A and B are shown apart, each in its own frame.
Chain A
Amino acid sequence: MSEETLAQLAMDFSVLSLIAVGGAITVLPEMHRSVVEVHGWMSGAQFAEVFALAQAAPGPNILVVSLIGWKVAGLAGAVVATAAVCGPSCVLTFAVSRIWQRFRGARWRTAVEDGLVPVTVGLMLAGGYLITLSADHSWPAFATTALTAAFVLTTRIHPLWLFGAAGLIGLAGWV
């Protein structure tokens, strides 16, 4: 624990920060790998729970790292994890935003934008797959996941209602 853990949090999450193209969901698999598989800071089920908490709460999903940091090393952990995940990407954005205007319409710029789309799609699907395996341990749980996905895809209902309904299903002891 303590300083070594904090350094580890800072290291891992700064790297995540620089590869989180598209936000928290795309690095979900890597976060899972680091937090659950490599360091064993929490179980897969706990990881799925803090991630659910971050999705339900206001603010960017990436704040899930604050919760992970909190769980691993208290307030210092939360601050370090949040700073590490936001710092590098913000500095990069700041630097690039100043020169980006110049390349409007450049062919390589469009290629970079379009070329990253399939990778992002693959990462999001991988994140969905892994978080489902972590969260669900019974067939009603898998059914809840599938139904939620179906509702999100076919209706305009706000996800918080779905979270509420799923919470009730949980409370009823069905999953």
Chain B
Amino acid sequence: MPFARRMLVEERRWLSAEEFTDVLSLCQLLPGPNIVNVAVCVGARYHGVRGAVAAFAGLMTAPFFIMLALGVLYTEYGDLPAVSALFRGISAAAAGLVVAMGLKMATSRRLRSAMALFAVMTFIGIALMRLPLVVFLLGAAPLSVAATLWRAK
């Protein structure tokens, strides 16, 4: 995202800094990877549907094929003892990265302490009770938004 910001705001000047913040806040709110959403928004702003499609394709094509190449290598060699040992290490680290991102977000200022209850509820519902996410979100997300509205009064 820092790279995207530098390219969009400083190098190409497609968006002002303020517009970028605005676009980003929308893209974080909508489902889908933030960076993909930013690409779609910026593409749409300049060239409608064609711009959005072009931006999406530009962003995703190369990584998609890299991923496929890795997938081929993985299915081909994934069963070799050395490779699976390597992967046991890497996947432990990858899990650590996710844990860190969660903790970082949990301690950020955007999470008001009174609202932490909803984070705990979500953790219990999803991680421990293994509720289906759609069902859970339909209940919890509106409640959380309503609580925010009520507190803001």
Tell me, yes or no, whether A binds B: yes
Chain B: minimal CB distance from A146 (Å)? 7
Most buried by A among B44, B95, B112, B147: B95
Q: 13 interchain pairs (CB within 8 A)?
A: A19-B133, A30-B132, A57-B70, A70-B71, A78-B68, A90-B32, A90-B52, A93-B30, A93-B41, A126-B126, A144-B93, A148-B97, A167-B87
> Assuming A119-B141, A119-B144, what are 11 further A-B pairs, CB within 8 angstroms?
A33-B133, A45-B91, A57-B66, A62-B36, A67-B67, A75-B68, A115-B147, A118-B116, A121-B102, A173-B85, A175-B92
Task: Please tell me if A76 contacts chain B, counting CB pairs below 8 Å.
Answer: no
Please list the residues of chain A having a beta carbon within 8 angstroms of any beta carbon in chain B. 15, 17-25, 27-30, 33, 37, 45, 48-63, 66-67, 70-71, 75, 78, 82, 86, 88-90, 92-94, 96-98, 100-101, 104, 107-108, 110-132, 134-137, 141-142, 144-153, 159, 162-163, 165-171, 173-175
Contact with A along B57-81 (1 / 0, CB 8 A): 0011011101110111011001000
Q: What are the residues of chain A within 8 A of B29 when measuring CB–CB?
A: 21, 112-113, 116
- A144 and B118: CB pair below 8 A? no
User: Which single residue of chain B is at the shortest CB-CB distance from A96?
Assistant: B30
